[in-house]
Amino acid sequence: MSSALSVYLTKTLPNNYLSESALIAFKDEAAHIVIGDNEEENLRRIQKAGRQLDTQGVTAISVKGQGWDKERQWSLSLGFTSTLSRNHIQWTAEVADELQQISDVYRFTRELINLPAEDIYPVALAERVASHLTELAPDHVSYEMIKGEELKQAGWMGIYTVGRASQHEPAMLVLDYNPTGDANAPVESALIGKGITYDSGGYSIKPSEGMLSMKCDMGGAATVSGALSLAIRQGLKKRVKLFLCCAENMIDGRAYKLGDIITYKNGLTVEVVNTDAEGRLVLADGLQAAGEAGAKQIIDAATLTGAAQMAVGNEYNALFSVDDEAATTALACAQQEHELLWRLPLNRWHAENCPSPYADTANSRPQKGGGAGGASNAAGFLLRFAPNDGQGWLHFDLAGAFQKSATSMWPAGATAMGVRTIAATLAR
């Protein structure tokens, strides 16, 4: 594309009238991004420069000159985009195929999250993911979808209860990626995604401004689906099962109410004290399904709590686990993939932090945001359902999955942050 703007890296400002904090200088019909000696800060500067180029109306760029390794080019790509843009980047030939692979997965993931709930409802989400992964590996993918009253009959009461009030029936997607050629091969990993395609809060209704971005509440389902897509493209040879727990959390005469008690397939009873703490109710079904599949490694991802955002902001995702070895692996993968991930506290006693006089546990505490330690208590609730006493289980609370408005680093909308980390963790 001859009309693409050439973009170079430089350590010296090409124009002496610019301040030392300048990110970009334009000279000889090219953009020069100013970097320094700290590589992590360089990646941030390059991503910010990409945002500036996008907001200035540039639609095509070509990386030129020295210093453009894969991660620097990817950082530029993360900034040089927006929800509506069709921007184009000419990568360097050495890494073009690899970067295009990641870019295609991110586009798929971000589109799922950014589309309105009118287009992405529970069954539609499951169908889009199943179609995408089947097209990617037709000889190795099979799936079933359990929906509506079938969920109740199968015992998946969390998804059924949360989603029964919507005109769009709830669904669980069970997708099997098995490249081994052996129908009896063990399931090495299970991926579980929260697929709340719209979250009104139910009878614990959200305020209008809190509801505006709730099309993103299926970000966990999109993220684990994108991670599996990327891992397959990168040559994953292990059997993986994907469980998407899909529902709309809406209000009508059939909606679940505060004080209701849900009896799960494993016999555990849960009192509903907050209908806006619905994500953990559907993930509980996914965790049980992963246990039935015998998965050795279990990863769930969800836009689960505002408390995680309060702890780590929108720049990080939060990680919870009672398995130190598994958590260390995930953190190492995040560092390798240059995604920000922070481990927050989870002890076994967190499972006792939402007591109920009427059931084995409540789904939260009856106070705003679940009270102090809300993210850890939500993870503690999930620990009750995690197979193998939580060994091999990782819970990603995706605080950085969605930006309500554009920042200096990110466009408004979905970021797909976490896809690379989870894909790398699968490969380990």
Please state the separation of Cα 413 from the chain's center in Å.
13
Written as six digits, the tokens of 347 are 């002890």
Contact 261, 285 (CB under 8 A): no
Query: What integer pLDDT is reported at residue 1 of this predicted model?
Result: 44
Please state the separation of Cα 322 from the chain's center in Å.
20
Contact 244, 195 (CB under 8 A): yes
- Long-range contacts of the stretch 180-188 (C-beta < 8 A, 24+): 180/237, 180/238, 180/239, 185/239, 186/239, 186/294, 186/296, 187/239, 187/240, 187/241, 187/293, 187/294, 187/295, 187/296, 188/238, 188/239, 188/240, 188/295, 188/296, 188/297
Q: Tokens 């560092």 — which residue?
A: 335
Other CB atoms within a 10 A radius of the CB of residue 86 amount to 8
The CA angle 412-413-419, to the nearest 5 degrees, is 125
Q: At how many degrees (to 10) do helices 219-233 and 419-427 cross?
A: 50
Domains of the chain: 5-94 (no CATH), 107-427 (3.40.630.10)
d(CA 400, CA 113): 13
Q: E strands of 200-347, at which residues?
A: 240-249, 261-263, 269-271, 297-302, 317-320, 341-343
Instruction: Per-residue pLDDT tens, the chain, 428 aa: give them.
Output: 458 999 999 998 877 777 778 899 998 889 999 999 999 999 999 999 999 999 999 999 999 999 999 999 999 999 999 888 789 999 999 999 999 999 999 999 999 999 999 999 999 999 999 999 999 999 999 999 999 999 999 999 999 999 999 999 999 999 999 999 999 999 999 999 999 999 999 999 999 998 999 999 999 999 999 999 999 999 999 999 999 999 999 999 999 999 999 999 999 999 999 999 999 999 999 999 999 999 999 999 999 999 999 999 999 999 999 999 999 999 999 999 999 999 999 999 999 999 999 999 999 998 777 788 899 999 999 999 999 999 999 999 999 999 999 999 999 999 999 999 999 999 98
Query: What integer pLDDT is reported at residue 2 of this predicted model?
Result: 54
d(CA 97, CA 101): 6
* DSSP output for 5-48: EEEEEESS-SSTTS-TT-SEEEETTEEEEE--S-HHHHHHHHHH
Q: Which candidate, 240, 217, 256, 254, places its Cα nearest to that of 125?
A: 217
Total residues found in the chain within this entry:
428
d(CA 277, CA 305): 8
d(CA 217, CA 193): 10
For 390, what's the count of Cα atoms within 13 Å in the CB-facing half-sphere? 20
Work out the burial of residue 312: count CB atoms within 10 Å of its CB; fewer than 13 is exposed, 13-18 middle, 19 or more buried. buried
Torsion of the alpha carbons at 336, 51, 103 and 195, rounded to the nearest 10:
90
The order of strands in the sheet holding 141-147 is 141-147, 171-177, 240-249, 189-199, 297-302, 393-397, 317-320, 341-343
d(CA 306, CA 404): 13
Written as six digits, the tokens of 299 are 């990863």
Any bridge partners for residue 414, and if so which?
Answer: 402
Contact 11, 46 (CB under 8 A): no
- Predicted TM-score (pTM) of the model is 0.96
Contact 428, 333 (CB under 8 A): yes
Q: Which residues are catalytic?
A: 206, 280
The radius of gyration computed from the CA coordinates of the chain, to the nearest angstrom, equals 22
